[in-house]
Structures are given as structure tokens and as C-alpha cells.
Chains A and B, each alone.
Chain A
């Protein structure tokens, strides 16, 4: 999790080199506790079916496709918001148990739990 512990990443656009689709890097926050890391990714305009999480070679890729396309017949008077889909790529620590990663999307906020492997968690050693 090289990238993970900065508190508030600013959004910048990034391009997926394979498909040449332009994504916006979403704002996100990360927290660490004994059980692992928790990520909060802000993806306004994304419905449940729009999120995919893939893990390949320790890189977690979160892609969130927007479902709030501008309906036909609406003409823009003033635009200030990005309409790009979101993508966030994080290099995960090997200590993360990839099988137990869970994610929940609610009101445009994606909460991802990245639990540590049992062996990586702090152990309490009893004093005999």
C-alpha cells in the first residue's frame, strides 16, 4: 500500500494505457488499524453495477463507471463537474489478504476493506 496512507489525494485524470479511456482519479481517504486498511473512495454518480475491483500482481484497480449520463434533450448552460468514469490504482502490500477484500457502495461512496493476513496482525503474547 505505497499510496494508501496519504490522507487526502487530489483528483487527477489518468489514462488507461490499454484502452485509452480517460478516467478521473477519485478523491479517497485511507485509514489503518490493527485489522488492516479501510479505503473510502468518493464516486458520485456511480450505481452499484458500475463498480469493478480487480487485483492483479498486487495492484488493486478500482474502476467505477458513472450511471448519470446527461439525458438527451438537455442542453448545457454551465458545466463545472467532470463526467469521466473513475479509476484508482493502488499497489497493495503483500500482507493484505486478497481473498477477504470487501467493498460496499452507498450514496456515491465506496468503502473498501483491505484486511491484513492473520499472520500479519499483531499478536498478544501471554506472559507465562
Chain B
């Protein structure tokens, strides 16, 4: 894997919010970049890594409730101002943070594909006790509807 200058956003590992989980084709080369066999990449990779977990891919829990979806991330000690939650035009949710601490740069992110019935207008994010909770509403049409029999 070649040289990637600092500041370049590398592809995040993708996971669909549906039951099927898959790795983005780019994710394998992404791991190679930080492999221990390449000291140069390791040196660079370190700057991208999360200071706490040492990983640049932000782990997530994804839940489904009756009328919304929830994604949770662990971001201990990361202030709100360093976190960005973006809803991309293609319907992907991009959560990332960048934080400088003790002259080290920590950076991690995650891209989640929203399910088809997600309501992009209804996205909320909350950061509490180091846990980021992103709530995405479900579109009205997708809610179960009881049909009265005439």
C-alpha cells in the first residue's frame, strides 16, 4: 500500500444498517496500510488512529426501535466541537471526529448506510458520558398501519 499524505480522508469501513453486514472492498487495503509489516505506513497510520482504541475505524452499535433507528459510538473525552455527524446526499450517515491531544492527532470515523425507510429529515445526535447517540426517524409510510375492515 502506498503513501497517503496526512489529512487525506481514507475510505471508512461500510456497514449497512440492515441485517447483512459487509466490508467495503476498500477496507482490506485500508487495513494493509496500517499493517505492521510496513513501518512507514505504521508511522503515518498512527496519526490517524484513535487515541483510545488504537483503531481508525469507529466501532458502532446499531439498533432498531419501533419508530426510529439508533447508532451508538464510544467517544470518551471528545468534546462536541470535535465531532461531526453528516448526512450525505446519497443517504449515508458519516460520523467522524478529529482531536489533538498531547500533540498526537486522533482521528476515526464511520460510514453507515441508512435503511430505505429512514427519514433523513429526522436525525438527532446527543453526546453524553462519552457515548454519541445518533437517532434517525423512520419514514411515516414504513410504520405498521392497522387497516380497518369494512
Contacts and interface: CB of A to CB of B under 8 A. Distances in A.
B129 A80 contact: no
23 contacts: A42-B130, A43-B130, A44-B74, A44-B75, A44-B76, A45-B131, A47-B129, A68-B72, A70-B63, A74-B64, A75-B63, A76-B62, A76-B63, A77-B18, A77-B62, A78-B15, A78-B17, A81-B59, A81-B72, A107-B77, A107-B78, A108-B76, A108-B129
A45 B131 CA distance: 6
A81 B74 contact: yes
A108 B63 contact: no
A106 B128 CA distance: 10
Contacts, number: 83
Main secondary structure of the interface of B (DSSP, over half): loop
B21 interface: yes
A123 interface: no
Interface of A: 8, 10, 27, 40, 42-47, 67-68, 70-71, 73-81, 106-109
Main secondary structure of the interface of A (DSSP, over half): loop
A109 B77 contact: yes
Contacts of A109: 76-77, 130
A119 B74 CA distance: 41
Given A27-B52, A68-B131, A75 B77 contact: no
A108 B133 CA distance: 14
A79 to B, nearest CB: 5
Given A43-B130, A107-B129, A108-B130, A74 B52 contact: no
Interface in B39-93: 52-54, 59-66, 69-70, 72, 74-79
A107 B79 contact: yes
Q: Which of B18, B59, B127 has the most CB of A within 10 A?
A: B59
Contacts of B130: 42-46, 107-109
Q: Which of A68, A80, A109 has the most CB of B within 10 A?
A: A80
Contacts of B127: 107
Given A44-B129, A79-B61, A108-B130, 20 more contacts: A8-B54, A40-B77, A44-B74, A44-B130, A46-B130, A67-B129, A73-B65, A74-B64, A75-B65, A76-B61, A76-B62, A77-B62, A77-B63, A78-B15, A80-B59, A80-B61, A107-B78, A108-B75, A108-B76, A108-B129
